[in-house]
Amino acid sequence: QTTLKSKAKDPYPDWKPGEPVPYAALCTTFSLIEMASKRLIITSHCALFFRQVLRLTPADVLPTVLLMVNKLAADYAGIELGIGESLIMKAIGESTGRSLAVIKQDQKEIGDLGLVAVKSRANQPTMFKPKPLTVKAVHEGLVKIATTSGNGAQGRKVDVIKKLLSAADGHKAGKFDLTVDKGGASEAKFLVRFLEGKLRLGLAERTVLVALSQAIVCHETEANGSGKVPSTEALAKGESSIKQVFSNLPSYDIIIPAMLEHGIANLQANCKLQPGIPLKPMLAKPTKAITEVLDKFENQTFTCEYKYDGERAQIHYVAKDSPQQYRGASTAATETATGGLAAIFSRNSEDLSKKYPDILEKLNTWVKSDTKSFVLDCESVGWDMVEKKVLPFQQLMTRKRKDVKVEDVKVKVCVFAFDLLFLNGEAVVEKPLRERRELLQRAFTPIEGEFQFATSMDGQEIDEIQQFLDDSVKASCEGLMVKMLDGTESSYEPSKRSRNWLKIKKDYLAGIGDSLDLVVLGAYFGKGKRASVYGAFLLACYNSNSETYETICNIGTGFSEAVLEELYAQLKEITIDRSKPFYLHSTSNQHQPDVWFEPKYVWEVKTADLTISPRYKAGGKEGVDPSGEEKGISLRFPRFIKMRDDKKPNMATNSRQVVEMYRKQESVTKNKGPAADDDF
Ligand code: ATP
């Protein structure tokens, strides 16, 4: 709390009330955050800055938050920068009069393009002092880069980057000094890092939310005249309120203006889950035996459902004559046959409506006429029209991702609905699952091969569950989802990997309980028959705290020749000269891959078990290595299963989860002697 006191000296004397937030002020805060390592300190730097924004320029809270969380807009808006390292290098070179070769050389030496920009600006004589950048102008410029398309788009994107970079304050110290500039507040450094998609501040989105809530509570306390520091209870209440609201309505565009207008105490009343704004789905914890499920749900009623192997689909709908408004970007919504608005969102809240026009076209056939608005949680699964059964996931993945025309659809899908989050103007997430399921079954008419309810079974006995698991496998499903059925714990918990949902996958009953989703960072050329393609790959998990990718294994098993060729074609497009500074891997020469990649693709990988290895870095910082040498965890006998196109690299399995899996396994395999190191 001490750091939140309003007595703090004004660090930005040039920033007058009502004036746009200077970008330099935000960068100063970024640099303070970059130098800090404790979450509390990071939160207070953030909160202090928000207090200043609230005091002087509340209209800029929204772009400030967006730049802090490294986003241009909500995920469902689909506004992405879509620029690679080479384009940024080109812009740095052109705006500072340096050749691309020099920029590349610097990048090789420094390893941080942000600092390369600082160095380039330091070498450049300043003819005139440009008008200072503001947070709002930077945000607008970045949106312009993201939305530029059509002929010559790349060139126009470079022009906007150049304009921003020329106005950015590159360097204060005169001569570039890596040790000093590393933690500096240079605008050019943070601008370039934003363009790269990684601010590398260790600033998680939830920390920004907490800081914002603290700042608002302080600001309101000050504004209502009491002039005192708010109570711990008031701060805790503000924090839980903003977190709860954000999980149901992840839209800064709606939440921030509402909070400024009605106050944080009224936030929950003003910002509720609503059709059009996708929420982050609830996720499940892995288990590896039915007995483990029974232990976890001891004395609680639960239900089992088939775990369909398709793509998560959150379907939003508002009928034409509904009193409920469709709140999201209506450009993304599709008009249904009966004049309503509907949209489908992915697990990442990306708009899938253009991928599944066939689902939307038929929607009115399974929505009952008195169902006026809803948000449904479903799995869209490939459907075999002849055999009348579900198709393997691989078939579904052959569908085009965008601009699908109904008449061209070859792989038909069936929607399997398993949860209802909103119905007829009301959020139902807090109701017990049993009630949600009843509402779901009353609101829709199942049609085979179009829309069905997830097959479920409420028996609580081990034999019944085993039988149901066998049935699910026969029905081409991945296994079971077991969910708490009654009581408050059975509510829908958006964005949470909850212990109230457990998954049992058929393949992993004897293994570690779950597969991992890993990012491809590098590759090795194959030998013999595989010499013209990559024969093995270096994979990593993601550490969301440090925003780093931590290597976990080399993999060369599970690929067909055709898949290897496809992967080669895909990956050669994103090769980079060298490892990125946020890739954590052994520095030993013998462990380096032949090529490195941008972090882009996520693959699902199965493993026999996990072991400690000096070569990899996964979870190394979490102290799993009893010798204290920060050795990491690695996978033994990893096997490629499939590409996870629906996951972004920062949604890969988290280092924390890897550590959790390792510890769980360790407690099971204790006393079985040391595991061997992996290789491929
Ligand atoms: P996975 O690789 O297992 O899909 P994940 O991280 O995508 O992992 P999990 O929470 O681990 O997600 O598993 C739940 C996923 O299973 C959901 O995201 C959903 O797409 C799918 N699914 C299939 N059937 C069901 C069901 N009946 N209930 C909930 N989710 C289901």
Q: Which two tokens stand for residue 556?
A: 């060369």
Local structure of residue 487 (DSSP, 8 states) = S
Q: Summarize pLDDT for 19-44 with one digit per residue, the tens.
A: 999 999 999 999 899 888 888 999 99
Catalytic status, residue 402:
no
- Phi, psi values for residue 7, rounded to 5°: -70, -15
Binned at pLDDT 50, 70 and 90, residue 426 comes out as very high
Percent of the chain with pLDDT over 70: 90
Helix (H, G, I), strand (E, B) or coil at 444: strand
- What is the torsion angle, in degrees rounded to the nearest 10, for the CA atoms of residue 537, residue 538, residue 541 and residue 545? -140
Q: Does ligand 1 lie within 6 Å of residue 305's CB atom?
A: yes
Most confident of 196-210, 415-429, 521-535: 415-429
206 CA → ligand 1 middle, Å: 23
478 CA → ligand 1 middle, Å: 9
**Single pTM value for the model:** 0.79
Q: Summarize pLDDT for 201-236 with one digit per residue, the tens.
A: 878 899 999 999 999 999 998 888 766 788 899 999
What pLDDT sits at residue 118?
86
CA–CA dist 420, 427 (Å, integer): 9
Q: Which amino acid is at 622?
A: E
Helix (H, G, I), strand (E, B) or coil at 617: coil
What pLDDT sits at residue 394?
80
Could you please report the per-residue DSSP string of 653-672? PBHHHHHHHHHHHHHHHTTS
- pLDDT over 50 (residue 391): yes
If one compares 92 and 171, the residue with the highest pLDDT of the two is 92
This complex has an ipTM of: 0.96
CA–CA dist 6, 239 (Å, integer): 19
* Options 119, 136, 307, 617, the catalytic residue: 307
283 CA → ligand 1 middle, Å: 7
Q: Summarize pLDDT for 548-601 with one digit per residue, the tens.
A: 999 999 998 888 888 999 999 999 999 988 888 889 998 888 889 999 999 999
What pLDDT sits at residue 622?
73
The whole-angstrom distance between residue 71's C-alpha and the CA centroid of its chain comes to 11
Binned at pLDDT 50, 70 and 90, residue 677 comes out as very low
Percent of the chain with pLDDT over 90: 57
Q: Does ligand 1 lie within 6 Å of residue 307's CB atom?
A: yes
Q: How far is CA 330 from CA 245, 271, 347, 362, in A?
A: 22, 18, 20, 20
Binned at pLDDT 50, 70 and 90, residue 330 comes out as low
- Nearest atom in ligand 1 to the alpha carbon of residue 307 is 24
Mean pLDDT of 531-558: 92
Nearest CA to ligand 1 atom 24: 307
